[in-house]
Structures are given as structure tokens and as C-alpha cells.
Amino acid sequence: MLRRLHSGFWALGVAFGSCSVPRFYSSRLGSELLRSQAYIGGRWLDADGRAQFPVLDPASGQQLTAVSDCGPQEAREAVRAAYNSLASWKAATSKERSNLLRKWYDLMLKNKDELARLITAENGKPLKESLSEILYAASFLEWFSEEARRVYGDVVPTSSPDRRILILKQPIGVASIITPWNFPSAMLTRKAGAALAVGCTVVVKPAEDTPLSALALAELADQAGIPAGVFNVIPSSKSKTPSVGEVLCTDPLVAAISFTGSTATGKILLRQASDTVKKASMELGGLAPFIVFDSANLDRAVAGALASKFRNTGQTCVCANRFLVQEGIHDSFVEKMVKAMQRDLRVGSGFDELTTQGPLINERAVQKVESHISDAVSLGACIVTGGKRHSSGATFFEPTLLSNVTTDMLCAQEETFGPLAPVIKFQTEEEAVTIANASNVGLAGYFYSSNLAQIWRVAEQLEVGIVGINEGLLSTPEAPFGGVKQSGLGREGSKYGVDDYLEIKYVCFGGL
């Protein structure tokens, strides 16, 4: 029986079994990018016992397809495959690696529409946003194909006349990569692009909610001619993930672990990686403050707030989580923001062209938004718009704005990761900065002001890794992405993005 799930997507209404062929397809989706097996050592392989786990449509909860469920055994095989290909990959010239990354980039662009539909199918985000993610994801392959040729060392003057000092940068080895569901393509290319550029080989474990995008990228890597074993993907169910993560963090053949996800998971991985002293790169959660000072251009601030808060239905680690608005502009900001939300945001299926707000990723995510709202309301906050699940389905939520929010409420202390904009009123610049910095995480921070002296002061004082001044969308391959405090370690993208995959070697020439 065929059952229609979305415009363009169909699923076979049969019981979930051990078949390795994807069971959803579309006339508009090329079948070669729909992969269901693990990609290890350049081969598509079933997991042991042909184990599979279902991939669900977050909009309906229905099964889209099933993919191989890899456990520790497949993880070890993938690490071994990556290790076996390391010597030849790092011996390739940087130009050879650059050319292959560029081919992979070209193939992403060529297949951008199919890749975008896959993201919308498994993640739920509106198709337009999925397409933006694909272009953003591809831009990291382009960027690192260029950076591959610029991994320079140094020649350093010495105080000994008979010596010379050289500094070499060398690939660290096999890197484990664990990615989240909210940017299933971009978080992968931002890491793998950098690693492959400098000569490392990788094993990728994608999020259990969104393995299809990672497998499609493996297919394109294969088509681009990336050699067998250099790029490996092992999908894994939620129940097998901890044991796979343990292999990826402890196997002696792995040299580095790069993770994007929650701070809680990051801490588990750091602990596991410590025994074998692996290099760790962590992109973790945030609690982004979005400050609007009295001097701000109000319309720009509202436009920036809308973009920053509601992209990916509020499910990005750099989404504004707390709006701090100065008392002189507070009421007008709230009024304009609510009008803009009601006018510009439309909840519905990601495949509907008019949709700007897709579903949240799963029921747990919806419950978190609900718990933040009920906690805030019980402590005195007011629901100005939204506040409940949307009629489109159980995982859809109304874009919500709360006023009268105070710093003791959960929504001001924890990442909501959903379409909730809580507004806190403040009086002085010092008070705003103190509230903004009163957190153990610090990824992104935004503020709107027309006062030049204030702009410098606040930009320097915010305890975050990324600052947006009069700008709500910041991510780009040229700039370093990463946080301070418990938001992470290291930077991704930019010229610094390769550092996590490099060792520095000091070479001393003596007796000259």
C-alpha cells in the first residue's frame, strides 16, 4: 500500500523489517542519493544482523524509511578503514585533496534540490531553509578546498647561530565526527571539509533523527572520487549511539573527536576521550542574549530578532534565546515584534512553499517549549502571542512571545530550542551586560544600538564567541564559529577551522 506523506514523498505502508532498500521515494527525488546502508571503506554495508532503525517524518511521526543500525563492531570497522586509508590520503598533495573537495562541492550544487528535499523530509525545516543549508554546507567544502593549499608552517629565527628552527603542520590522524539533527548537512561539511583538507580521514556518526543527509553526502563523496576509507558514515539508533560514541572516543586508532550537539553530551564525550588524550573540538549549546538598546533602529532590530529567533523554528544553537529590551523602547519593540510574527511567520509542512515554521524535531522538543512557557507564566510572565501547540499537528508549535520575563525563569536560564521569544525589560547598559553574561555558556550574542561608544563597550564585554552588532544572522564560512565557557572548544570554519585537525611539529636543525 502506498501512503502519501508530503507533497512529493510517498512511503510504503508496510511493517518495519530488515530490508536494506529505502522504503520511501518520490518521482522528484533521485534514488541514487537515498542510501540506507552504512558507508565504510568505500563500500555500502549492512549492519551486523542487517539491523536497521526507522527514520521518521517529524511532521507526522510516520516512518519515511529505515537505515542500517551500526553498533560498536561497525564503529571499529569504520575506524580501521579510516586508519588504513590515512597514510595514502595524507601523502596526497594538498592540490590533489583540494581538487577532490572541489568536485564534492560541485556535486552538492548539482544535486542541491534533491539534498534540500531530503533535509525537509527528515528534519522538517521549510524547503527554502533546507536549500540555504545545502548552499551553506557546500560553501564549507569550497572554502576548505581553498584552505587545503594554505596550511603553512614557519621558519623561526633562533638564538643559536648553529641551529635553525622549522615548524611543520601535519594531519593529526583519524578524526571521529558526531553531528546533530538541526543542520544535518552543514555541521558535517564544516568538520569533514576541514579534516579532509589537511589530510585526516574521518568516521561520521550522524544524528539518529537525520541520517539520510549524511548518507547522501557519502554517495556524493564517492562520486567525487574521494578514496575509499577517507570518509566513512555509520548511522546509529538512539539506543546504540552511546556504545558507538564510546568506540569513537576511546579507540586508540582515533586521534581526534569533533562534536556538535548539547553541552551534556559534549561532557560525556570529553570524559571518554580523556583516557587516550584525544584532541577534542566541541560545538555545544548556547543561551544567546539579544539586547535592544534605546538608541537602536527599531525596525532593523525587529527584523533581526525575527530572523535570529525563528530560523529552523528556533532550533539553532545561535538562535536568540533571551530578548533584553531597554525600558524606553520596550513597549514599541514588543508591539512591532508581535505584529511581525503574526504577519510574517506561517506554521505548516516544510514542503508547503508558504511555510516559514516547520515542525519541531520530536515530541520531547515540544514538551521542552511547553515546560518553559508554563514555568514562566506561573512566575508572572504574560503570553502576548502564541503559547500552545499548532493545529498542524502534535510537533507544530505557535510562534510565541512572552513579556514580563525575569531572570529566574527557566526560559532565561536554559536553551529552549523552539519558537519562544521571552522578553526581559532592563534599565541600564551595565544591567543588560550583567544579565547577558550570567550564564555558564557563551556561544552567540546580539545587540542593536546606534551609539558607537556603546557598541565598542558591549562588543568587548559580552562573554560569547560570536557577536552580532545590528545583525541577526552571522554564520558564514569565512568567519570562525564557536563558543566560550561551556559552549565549547575550538573554532569551525574560517582559516582557524583546520587547526583542530593539525599537529604542530617543531623541527630543530642542529650542527650547522
The catalytic residues are: 283, 317
Cα 218 to chain centroid distance, Å, stands at: 18
In our burial notation (b when 16+ CB lie closer than 10 A, e otherwise), range 355-366 reads bbbbbbbbeebb
**Radius of gyration from C-alpha coordinates of the chain:** 23
User: Which residue from 230, 215, 155 is spatially nearest to 185, judged by alpha carbons?
Assistant: 215
Question: What angle in degrees, to the nearest 10, is found between the helix axes of 241-250 and 72-91?
Answer: 40
C-beta closer to ligand NAD: residue 110 or 271? 271
How far is the CA of 40 from the CAs of 75, 214, 354, in angstroms?
9, 13, 39
Cα–Cα dist 256/454, whole Å: 41
| Nearest CA-CA partner of 188 in 258, 286, 125, 123 | 258
CB of 423 to ligand NAD, least distance (A): 21
CB nearer to ligand NAD: pick between 311 and 425: 311
Contact 117, 28 (CB under 8 A): yes
Distance of alpha carbon 19 from alpha carbon 352, whole angstroms: 31
Distance CA 395, CA 389 (A): 7
User: Cell digits for 79?
Assistant: 575506524
Residues 116 and 133: beta-carbon distance below 8 Å: yes
Query: 118: which 3 cell numbers?
Result: 531530503
Q: Which amino acid is at 105?
A: Y
Q: Which residues pair with 488 in a beta bridge?
A: 283
Long-range Cβ contacts of 147-151 (<8 Å, 24+ apart): 147/194, 147/197, 147/495, 147/497, 147/498, 148/94, 148/95, 148/97, 148/98, 148/101, 148/197, 148/198, 149/94, 149/95, 149/98, 150/495, 151/94, 151/197, 151/198, 151/498, 151/502
Instruction: Name the residues that contact ligand NAD, by CB under 6 A.
Output: 178-183, 187, 205, 207-208, 241-242, 245, 260-262, 265, 268-269, 283-286, 317, 415, 417, 443, 488
At its nearest, how many Å lie between ligand NAD and the CB of residue 180? 4
Strand ranges (DSSP E) for 374-482? 382-385, 400-403, 420-426, 441-442, 444-448, 466-469
